[in-house]
């Protein structure tokens, strides 16, 4: 089976773009990625794309050109981008195609994400009791985790502080102002122990990646980034995930544990080999828990690692170097692909002021979505 490479990356700035639809932002990202790869839309053999709030992704052909391309819509919650990517990866890995696109975009209205319990197979009571408000779910999960593993409120705040500090260095981020730790910790309490500045927000933006077989990649670039692993897993019985209507007596690991383990096995590397890391930070507690779920530390070790600066850009495990969801916001269709975009930039040495030192060679991404879906990648140069 052929190796899969990323040869082009494109982005539309995240945040709020008045007067521009989500679909137009997605098209912008595709054109940007095609330019980066030195290719045309007519060269693409297939596309996978997703959007939660901006219409079917296949409608991008109206913006990009009516070439008859195979274009498949993908929808998988916050893991939509990761799902589009694994679909594109598999299409090339199988040998069926040589060149294709994975794209994600969205334009969410201001305010909280709307959620319909019925769409998740849940009864109305789930929403009526407030559990469909995901801020409460994340708060309950991190509150229990903090008590079980000795994570302090200060460390919770430091994750958000880092996100804004890194976002300041990212010209495509939404929130580019630093927020001091005291402000993070004492801002409005939304769902204890999570304050206003610890959460991401619905946003706008688009990301596109051009994928190629290794043979095709050699024709277009001398610096491909190899997609060594691309995995996706759903939840097991007993996992406490977004939209879980119960907490089982016997807990099962998160789908992230399984997706990450398989990704490392596929790539033939381990967590200790990662030079740059992107993990889902729907809120600052998620980043803490996902550090352990992805195998980068044991439960509870996050307290020391974060306090000692190991997750900073210059640390031994730089995490969310572009500011993550907290600084970029979350356009659902684009978030998982944004992570890959950032790692590709880092591995190319093109991340500018936020560049990880010592020429990183291997990177990792992890995106998590409801009702318990995780997608992971390992990338190398």
Per-residue pLDDT tens for 322-359?
999 999 999 999 999 999 999 999 999 999 999 999 99
Residue 10 near residue 207 (C-beta atoms within 8 A)? yes
What six digits make up the tokens of 256? 């992230």
What six digits make up the tokens of 209? 């990646």
Give the pLDDT confidence of 283-295 residue by residue, as tens digits. Answer: 999 999 999 999 9
Q: Which residue reads 């990866």 in tokens?
A: 89
Helix (H, G, I), strand (E, B) or coil at 219: helix
pLDDT at 126: 81
pLDDT at 207: 98
For 18-147, list the strands marked E by DSSP. Answer: 46-50, 70-73, 99-107
pLDDT at 115: 77
Longest dimension (CA), the chain: 57
pLDDT at 370: 84
Cα 115 from Cα 296, distance rounded (Å): 31
Cα 85 from Cα 101, distance rounded (Å): 8
Exposure b/e, 232-254, CB count within 10 A at least 16 = b: bbebeeebbbbbbeeeeeeeeeb
User: Which residues in the chain land under pLDDT 70?
Assistant: none
């Amino acid at each position: 089976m052929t190796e899969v490479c990323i040869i082009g990356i494109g982005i539309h700035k995240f945040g709020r773009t008045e007067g521009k639809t989500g679909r137009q932002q997605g098209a912008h990202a595709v054109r940007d990625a095609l330019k980066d790869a030195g290719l045309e839309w007519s060269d693409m053999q297939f596309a996978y794309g997703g959007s939660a709030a901006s219409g079917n992704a296949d409608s991008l052909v109206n913006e990009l050109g009516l070439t008859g391309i195979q274009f498949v819509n993908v929808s998988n919650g916050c893991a939509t981008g990761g799902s589009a990517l694994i679909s594109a990866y598999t299409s090339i890995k199988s040998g069926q195609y040589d060149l294709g696109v994975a794209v994600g975009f969205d334009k969410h209205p201001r305010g909280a994400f709307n959620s319909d319990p019925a769409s998740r197979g849940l009864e109305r009571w789930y929403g009526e009791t407030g559990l469909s408000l995901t801020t409460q779910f994340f708060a309950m999960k991190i509150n229990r985790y903090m008590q079980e593993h000795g994570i302090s409120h200060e460390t919770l705040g430091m994750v958000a502080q880092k996100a804004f500090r890194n976002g300041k260095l990212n010209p495509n981020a939404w929130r580019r102002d630093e927020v001091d730790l005291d402000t993070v910790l004492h801002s409005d309490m939304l769902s204890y122990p999570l304050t206003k500045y610890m959460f991401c927000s619905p946003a706008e933006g688009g990301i596109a990646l051009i994928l190629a077989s290794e043979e095709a990649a050699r024709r277009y670039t001398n610096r491909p980034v190899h997609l060594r692993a691309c995995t996706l897993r759903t939840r097991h019985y007993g996992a406490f995930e977004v939209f879980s209507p119960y907490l089982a007596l016997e807990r099962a690991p998160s789908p992230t544990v399984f997706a990450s383990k398989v990704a490392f096995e596929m790539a033939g590397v381990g967590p200790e080999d990662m030079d740059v890391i992107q993990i889902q930070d729907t809120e600052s507690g998620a980043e803490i828990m996902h550090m352990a779920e992805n195998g980068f530390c044991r439960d509870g070790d996050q307290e020391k690692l974060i306090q000692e600066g190991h997750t900073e850009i210059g640390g031994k495990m730089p995490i969310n170097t572009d500011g993550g969801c907290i600084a970029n916001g979350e356009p659902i269709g684009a978030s998982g692909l944004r992570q890959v975009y950032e790692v590709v930039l880092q591995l190319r040495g093109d991340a500018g002021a936020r560049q990880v030192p010592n020429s990183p060679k291997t990177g990792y991404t992890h995106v998590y979505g409801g009702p318990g879906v995780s997608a992971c990648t390992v990338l190398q140069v």
